[in-house]
Amino acid sequence: MRTTTSTAPTGRTVPVTLASGEQRHHQVLIIGGGNAGISLAARLRRYRFKDIAVIEPKSRHLYQPLFSHIAGGTADAFEAVRLQSAVTPQGVAWIRDKAVDVSTDTHTVLLESGSAITYDHLVVCPGIQNDWSSIPGLKEAMEGPHGASNYEYELAPKAWDLFRGMTGGTVVFTQPSGPASCAGAAQKPLYLACDHWRREGVLKDIRVVLAVPTPTIFGMEIIDEELNRKIDEYGIEVRFSTELASVEPQARTVQLLNTATGAAETLSYDVLHAVPPQSAPQWLKTTDLPAPGNRAGFVEVDPLILRHPRFPEVWSLGDSASTLNSKSGAALRTQAKVLAKNLRAVTRGRKPTTKYNQYSACPFVVSRNTVVFSEFDDKYSPMPTVPGWNNLARERRLTFIAERVMLPKIYWNLILRGLA
Ligand SMILES: Cc1cc2nc3c(=O)[nH]c(=O)nc-3n(C[C@H](O)[C@H](O)[C@H](O)COP(=O)(O)OP(=O)(O)OC[C@H]3O[C@@H](n4cnc5c(N)ncnc54)[C@H](O)[C@@H]3O)c2cc1C
């Protein structure tokens, strides 16, 4: 079947809305029109797939890596947003709705509107869920005047407003344990803010505390070396193997728990910058797509070919896939290429033989003009894509320009068009 898509004279994709009880079918149905869904759809269009639909409820597409720069005052909020209608590839149907269940028996996705879509192949990529309510007091603290985060588009500009107004006091930054989208991004607003305070001459009057769940700052020797140097330079107090246990927003205190020793600590704060615990989207956890007994709820996939081991017509990539790598846009860029090739092979009656190499990356923005660039595999062993790896892993201006200036352009113009 050929997709019936609607493209406005402006070149924008007009969303399709289905009535309750309505049914339709697509050869390739993609749940989630974020980084993974749109870049994969674009790549499949290039491979001449004719009947692709993306289910995506939101009208705005967000480039999340810029949230850290918005929180740290090195980007404006508008830079991270495009209309979904502008990023959905031409010839791809955009179904503006929410998936609420998947029936793997009947190859059907049920939507919030009460309609249903059947598929030949289903790609599941609705991202990851921020579990703000899983820590007592955290949600309330974020809603109050002293809490902010780079992990929500709406809270990132608030972070910068709070940081730039500071001339003294205590700021607590927290990074959660468990699965996370680009875990290291929790630290980027920290370094950006410290550099700002240093330039303003107030860093010496601000107590900066960072709680990380790991026994070292990141987990790769060369990167830890660089980050520790910056931490010393800024005078940051780091609590290793430490998690946020609860917040009392009225009293402006956090309770931290050292998971290695069991020791608890209460700290007063003037500003709390927190990153929430994260897990698979709630509705996904209750489908039969996660591995049986896997409470994290991410879609079970063969981590090499990205195909579901029990339901061969189901595929997954990005933050909602239970791959072994550290979740990131850099990882899913590689995954999208693999998945598109494997799906093309299968629809042509061949075996899916292209394998994902477990690549991931995290550019640590460590000042307002430098980056420490980490590239690694699922075991956190270095996996450089550019010769001279050691140079890129050291603090560099060049990698800041690549991350802050070039990457957003590459994202909007190449990655989302299936070209990179
Ligand atoms: C603050 C921050 C900084 C980051 N920095 C970096 C970085 O520097 N480098 C890097 O490589 N990565 C970074 N990442 C990670 C990167 O942004 C993610 O890995 C990437 O966006 C994941 O893509 P995705 O498509 O899986 O999920 P998303 O991009 O989140 O897209 C998921 C989409 O699914 C939609 N959806 C949700 N539920 C449903 C449903 N029920 N039905 C239909 N659609 C649904 C959502 O609306 C959304 O559009 C960062 C992430 C954050 C939060």
Helix and strand numbers, DSSP H then E, in the chain = 12, 21
Average of per-residue pLDDT across 255-282: 98
| 5 CA to centre of ligand 1 in angstroms | 25
Confirm or reject: Cβ of 407 under 6 Å from ligand 1.
Answer: no
Taking only the tens place, the pLDDT of each residue in 292-319 is 988 789 999 999 999 999 999 999 999 9
Residue 34, ligand 1, Cβ within 6 A: yes
Residue in 279, 328, 405 to alter for ligand 1 test, most ligand atoms within 8 A of Cβ? 328
Could you report how far apart the first and last alpha carbons of the chain are, in Å? 28
Closest protein CA for atom 27 of ligand 1: 127
In the chain, what percentage of residues exceed pLDDT 90? 93
Q: Is the CB of 185 under 6 A from ligand 1?
A: yes
Q: Is the CB of 126 under 6 A from ligand 1?
A: yes
CA–centroid distance, residue 124 to ligand 1 (Å)? 13
Q: Are 172 and 272 in contact (CB under 8 A)?
A: yes
Q: Is 285 in the pocket of ligand 1 (CB under 6 A)?
A: no
Q: Which atom of ligand 1 is nearest to the CA of 63?
A: 17
What distance in Å separates the CA atoms of residue 299 and residue 193, rounded to the nearest whole number? Answer: 36
Q: What is the mean pLDDT of residues 379-396?
A: 84
Tell me the C-alpha distance between 35 and 299, whole Å. Answer: 17
Q: Which atom of ligand 1 is nearest to the CA of 331?
A: 11
37: left (phi over 0), alpha (psi -120 to 50) or beta: alpha
Is the CB–ligand 1 distance for residue 99 below 6 Å? yes
> Ligand 1 in contact with 40 (CB < 6 A)?
no
Distance (angstroms) between ligand 1 centre and the Cα of 87 equals 15
pLDDT of residue 2: 41
Q: Residue 386: its pLDDT value, please? A: 77
Q: Is 176 left (phi over 0), alpha (psi -120 to 50) or beta?
A: beta
What is the average per-residue pLDDT within 211-221? Answer: 97
Query: Do residues 246 and 272 touch, judged by C-beta distance below 8 A?
Result: no
List, for residues 72-94, the tens digit of each pLDDT value: 999 999 999 999 999 999 999 99
Structure-token pair, residue 254: 């956090």
Q: Provide the 3-class DSSP secondary structure of residue 411.
A: helix
Positive or negative CA dihedral for 234, 238, 243, 248?
negative
Nearest residue to 257 (alpha-carbon basis) of 138, 141, 176: 176
Token pair belonging to 260: 């290695």
Q: Which residues contact 277 (CB under 8 A, 6 or more apart)?
A: 131, 134, 135, 176, 177, 178
Task: Name the band, by pLDDT with cuts 50, 70 and 90, for residue 388.
Answer: low
Query: Does the beta carbon of 124 sit less than 6 angstroms from any atom of ligand 1?
Result: no
* Longest alpha-carbon distance in the chain: 66
> Is residue 125 in contact with ligand 1, taking CB distance under 6 Å?
yes
**What is the CA(275)–ligand 1 centre distance, in A?**
15
Residue 52's pLDDT is 98
Any ligand 1 atom below 6 A from CB of 72: no
* Tens digit of each residue's pLDDT (9 = 90 or more) over 143-199: 999 999 999 999 999 999 999 999 999 999 999 999 999 999 999 999 999 999 999
- For residues 12-37, average pLDDT: 95
Q: In this predicted model, what pLDDT tens digit does every residue of 121-149 receive, in sequence order?
A: 999 999 999 999 999 999 999 999 999 99
pLDDT for position 6 = 66
Ligand 1 centroid vs 114 CA: distance in angstroms?
Answer: 25
Domains of the chain as residue ranges with CATH: 23-128+280-357 (3.50.50.60), 131-277 (3.50.50.60)
